[in-house]
Structure 1
Amino acid sequence: MSLPRIAIDAMGGDEGVRVMVSGAALARRRHEQFKFLLVGDEARIKAALDNHPNMRGASEILHCDDVVAGDEKPTAALRRAKTTSMGLAIAAVKSGDCGAAVSGGNTGALMAMSKLALRTMPGIDRPALAGLMPTLGDDDVVMLDLGANTECDARNLVQFAVMGAAYSRIVTGKSAPSVRLLNIGTEEIKGTDRLQEAAAMLRAASGLSLDFQGFIEADKINRGLVDVVVTDGFSGNIALKAIEGSARFVTDLLKTAFRSSIRSKFGFLVSRPATELLRHHLDPNNHNGGVFLGLNGVVVKSHGSANVNGVANAVNVTARLLEESLTERILADLAELGEARLRDNGSTAK
């Protein structure tokens, strides 16, 4: 069975066409079976393809010179969905011409367009933005929501847990990934009413392909203790930026320390293999690719500042989600969640 194409918003991101096309070309070395729809300025895309022979026969160009600005309000961008590279990439997923879309453009506009065009799948009230973050363990941790929904109720958090676990199963290969809710403490009595209610719902739900383990505090997110961390978009976005800021702080602090004296510079040369490993592990480009979960189609958000390797990682994530049928997995899990609720309601009635 042939795999669906991936639509690339070639105009999205800080550097636009060159980085987006080069990143897709790099990703195709690992996923040679995929083909692409490159949406954007045709002349610039053709010029970029001249440097990547492996993409020429695998790519179709859809010309578009209208771009969503990075600071454009989502409501304004929505009015231009039919004329912008971002909107046309999403429309290709809606029509079935492509199986997924990748963009490095305006996050708010991408979410608004995706939600309006693709709609949420049955059983999902709100889509969530999920991302992968490095840990001290063998696997990255899936965290959601990272900013799509600033306010969430308990039902939303339970749905996020189901979707995050489906994503984690693809990433880790585990049949029942561990899931925890982000909280101010791990004790069962801690947290808001909605967190308490969500925890109770997850503990009561049987038959789900996840292992709910209660709460986790923010300082433990990257310790490798859990596969999926669930929270609302407001707290998730703050936690994400705090973690990314801490990573930059550590790397900048190391640079300053190693430049402070001749002895420190010599120490840097001796420890360079270790510092390079640290730099690679903390580089956000190596974990690039946020996924809008809960839509009737796959949409992946690349960092606007991502380099070629970062875009390649976002496209690699997209390809893997299509290969592993993420949407179908989530639908199956939601069906199981619905059956679990019916069983629980039946038990309560008795």
Structure 2
Amino acid sequence: MRIAVDAMGGDYAPKEVVEGIQIAHDRYPEIEFDLYGQIDKVKPFLKNADHITLVQADEVIAMEDEPVRAIRRKKQSSIVLAAQAVHDGKDDAFFSAGNTGALLAAGLLIIGRIKGIDRPGLTTTLPVLNNPKQDQFLMMDVGANADTKPFNLYQYAIMGKYYAQTVMGVKNPRIGLLNNGTEADKGDMAHKAAHEFLAGVRDINFVGNVESRELLNGAADVVVTDGFTGNAVLKNTEGTALSMLKLIKNGIMNGGLTSKLGAAMLKSTFKGIQSQMDYSKHGGAVLLGVKAPVIKTHGSAKAETIANTIGQIKAMLENHSVENVVTYFSDHSEEMAEAKAEMQK
């Protein structure tokens, strides 16, 4: 099990990336790591080089670089070299905290799409609150494709199902379609068409439309949507959580001695709430639909989050999540073609 790591990607790279890999190495000694980056900048943070190989990458793709252009021009960048190593079979998975667009472009242009999948999608795991039967759910797409057709949503449902089964351990995941109401006739023409088709698919446990206000309550195990909506919902959820924490903190600080004493007594409770809302402990966002695991964590990720993401990659590799998707789409190629033709009428 060998993972290619973009050591130069992220707001705190290479320090936090290297430290995160060191934590992951201690947790999972069976994993080999190839760290791609500028060795003179990476090596000072490497305390234990056991099972870790440094690979020189002369160039770095910055957050502000135009993704596709950067992939094509910066052939010696850490992102391109890491993706190429996965394409060539040297590494089994690709991880980065860097430029999201560049990672998506590298996944599509270098590693390549699984045959039969029109558009790979970016998926992330979010927490479910106050539900003892469920602690997380999957949402896809959250930014890979702004424009999505009903057929793409159908393929997202299939890919999301296999990820939920193999990585999250959900036996028969409930698939929901993000919409502006729960009724079957809600939404625009694309959502109505997607709902009608998904409702008739035997291979998935479709539970119908899901409203955004019910996402954190566990309305479904997998929620499918277009990349524009998914990204907006994700950022709104992040922003609301941060704003609420700031609001509580300001209320305590401005509330006088009584508020401060009360907060001190509830410190453990606040920590529990913060931990429950922290989706980063579940790992990073996964580009599903490409030939190997491609995982992106937040640019501001620190070492612990990076180590958690390595655990997520390990689960994907151990449970053959990509291979399961490849097998499904290969075995159902005729069915996929018929579905695509029907949904394009």
Q: Same fold (TM over 0.5)?
A: yes
Is 1:8 matched up with 2:5?
Answer: yes
8 A Cα contact 2:37 2:56, kept in partner? yes
Out of 297, 301, 306, the position equivalent to 1:306 is 301
- Aligned equivalent of 2:173: 177
What CA RMSD, in Å, does the superposition of the two structures yield over aligned residues?
1.8
> 1:237-292, CA deviations, whole angstroms, 9 ceiling, x for partnerless residues?
00000000011011111111121211000010111111001112223432440000
- Aligned equivalent of 1:348: none
Give the partner amino acid of 1:92.
A
Q: Tell me how far apart the structure 2 counterparts of residues 124 and 339 of structure 1 sit (CA, whole Å).
A: 13
How is 1:156-235 mapped onto 2 (pairs within 5 angstroms)?
A: 156-206=152-202, 208=203, 210-235=204-229
Q: Tell me how far apart the structure 1 counterparts of residues 187 and 332 of structure 2 sit (CA, whole Å).
A: 24
TM-score (norm 2): 0.93
> 1:84-108, CA deviations, whole angstroms, 9 ceiling, x for partnerless residues?
0011111110000001010111111
Q: Tell me how far apart the structure 2 counterparts of residues 343 and 155 of structure 1 sit (CA, whole Å).
A: 11
Determine helix, strand or coil for the equivalent of 1:29. helix
TM-score (norm 1): 0.92
Out of 29, 43, 47, the position equivalent to 1:46 is 43
Give the partner amino acid of 1:226.
A
Q: Tell me how far apart the structure 1 counterparts of residues 333 and 121 of structure 2 sit (CA, whole Å).
A: 19
Is 1:329 matched up with 2:324?
Answer: yes
8 A Cα contact 1:142 1:164, kept in partner? yes
Give the partner amino acid of 1:205.
V
Deviation of 1:334 (Å): 2.6
8 A Cα contact 1:80 1:87, kept in partner? no
Q: Tell me how far apart the structure 1 counterparts of residues 179 and 89 of structure 2 sit (CA, whole Å).
A: 40
8 A Cα contact 1:168 1:227, kept in partner? yes
Structure 2 unmatched ranges of 5 or more: 341-345
Aligned length: 336
Deviation of 1:332 (Å): 2.9
Deviation of 1:166 (Å): 1.0
Deviation of 1:171 (Å): 3.5
Out of 233, 251, 267, the position equivalent to 1:272 is 267
Give the partner amino acid of 1:256.
N
- Aligned equivalent of 1:319: 314
Q: Tell me how far apart the structure 1 counterparts of residues 281 and 101 of structure 2 sit (CA, whole Å).
A: 23
- Aligned equivalent of 2:83: 90
Deviation of 1:338 (Å): 4.1
Is 1:26 matched up with 2:19?
Answer: no
8 A Cα contact 2:167 2:321, kept in partner? no
- Aligned equivalent of 2:144: 148
Out of 134, 139, 145, the position equivalent to 2:135 is 139
Is 1:259 matched up with 2:256?
Answer: no
Out of 279, 283, 286, the position equivalent to 2:278 is 283
Distance 1:334 1:202, change over 3 A: farther
